[in-house]
Amino acid sequence: MKTWKKPLKVGLVGATGVVGETFINLLEEYTYPIEEFRPFASQNSEGIKLFLAGKEWAVQILKPGCFDGLDMVFFSSGDDISKEWAPQAVKAGAFAIDNSNAFRMEKETALLVPEVNGHLINSSSRPQVIANPNCSTIQLTVALKPLFDHYGIEDVTVATYQAVSGAGLPGYEELLTQTKNFETPDHVSKTFPKQILFNCIPQIGSFDDQGFCSEESKIMNETPKILGDQNLKVSAFTVRIPALNSHSEAVWVTLKKDVSREVLLKTMDEFPGLAMMDQDYPTPLEVSGQDPVFVGRVHQDCHNPRRWLMWVVSDNLKKGAALNGLQIANLIFS
């Protein structure tokens, strides 16, 4: 992965969360040049020391003027905090890369997956809020983009199987605690609406009047915006499963043109960020910690030759959040 031309002053809101931790690990792994690092979290974490680029940096709380002098701030601590503070980062002259849902569907906000619509931002862009899409949407759009460009897409149906890390540190800890105490008859469920151990839960977020939960609406609204086709029909059904990390998706995509399986696989294989598995299939356990979006089990529907089924798996903390955010920063600074 490319790094930045010059050392940057970087802020990270939500530095003690699972996405924040992944963001720091990626900065270390790819040895990004860092002139200053300003980590932010809640009062509970104030003063905690985080290690990056050979130094310790103390966690701060958000306060007026806290972004002064920064080049970029990555926000990963929820909608309300982003709504209030991301515009302040931009006012202070920084790019705000926002991992929350706060700005994604605003008309003037770029909703970016660099491999898919990275042309919307470049090194001449002015400081602004840039939205990182929903984690399930990111991996879906990376898999769809080569098909969209080469054959056109009529419609997409997706069923997700989402890991507990998608609900942050509390989700992760809830599954681990229930696993340690697996013989307990009544598990306490605070993060998920029902016991997650030995279970799967067809609800991620709250339900709307039509019966969709908010995770489903995010996928259905964001995918057409990212692919640049507001007429694209996307239908989503999202399910939480007791995997620790990495989201999986069963995808049905109807193309506008005929194509052979061999050519379709080649088209996807050549697309950056996709790792095709033809003889095997990816699973969340194997994919966790890796950068690409993995695709396996590509096969043709038996009723409609233009409809294709596939299995798409990716690390929600990496490509679904922190890595995608860093790739956005690369468009601006490298």
Applying CB under 6 A, which residues contact ligand NAP? 13-20, 40-42, 44-45, 62, 76-78, 81, 99-100, 135, 165-166, 168-170, 316-317, 320-321
Considering the complex, state which of residue 131 and residue 268 has its C-beta at the smaller distance from ligand NAP: 131
What CA–CA distance (Å, rounded) separates 40 from 82? Answer: 12
Considering the complex, state which of residue 34 and residue 81 has its C-beta at the smaller distance from ligand NAP: 81
Considering the complex, state which of residue 45 and residue 223 has its C-beta at the smaller distance from ligand NAP: 45
Considering the complex, state which of residue 57 and residue 308 has its C-beta at the smaller distance from ligand NAP: 57
- How near is the Cβ of 278 to ligand NAP at its closest, in Å? 28
| Residue whose C-alpha is closest to residue 92's, from 75, 126, 69 | 69
Q: Which two tokens stand for residue 141?
A: 């759009």
Q: How many CA atoms lie within 13 A of 124 on its CB side?
A: 2
Residue of this chain nearest to ligand NAP (CB atom): 17
- How near is the Cβ of 222 to ligand NAP at its closest, in Å? 12
Q: Report the Cα 55 to chain-centroid distance in Å.
A: 28
Indicate which residue of 66, 119, 135, 299 is catalytic. 135
Q: Report the Cα 195 to chain-centroid distance in Å.
A: 25
User: Which residues, other chains included, contact 234 with Cβ-Cβ below 8 Å and sequence gap of 6+?
Assistant: 155, 156, 157, 158, 219, 220, 223, 224
- How near is the Cβ of 257 to ligand NAP at its closest, in Å? 33
Q: Is 135 a catalytic residue?
A: yes
- How near is the Cβ of 258 to ligand NAP at its closest, in Å? 36
Indicate which residue of 247, 299, 302, 303 is catalytic. 247
In terms of Cβ atoms closer than 10 Å to its own Cβ (0-12, 13-18, 19+), residue 62 is middle
Per DSSP, 124 falls in state T
Considering the complex, state which of residue 61 and residue 263 has its C-beta at the smaller distance from ligand NAP: 61
- How near is the Cβ of 45 to ligand NAP at its closest, in Å? 3
What CA–CA distance (Å, rounded) separates 76 from 13? Answer: 6
Q: Is 247 a catalytic residue?
A: yes
What CA–CA distance (Å, rounded) separates 189 from 283? Answer: 26
Q: Catalytic residue positions?
A: 135, 247
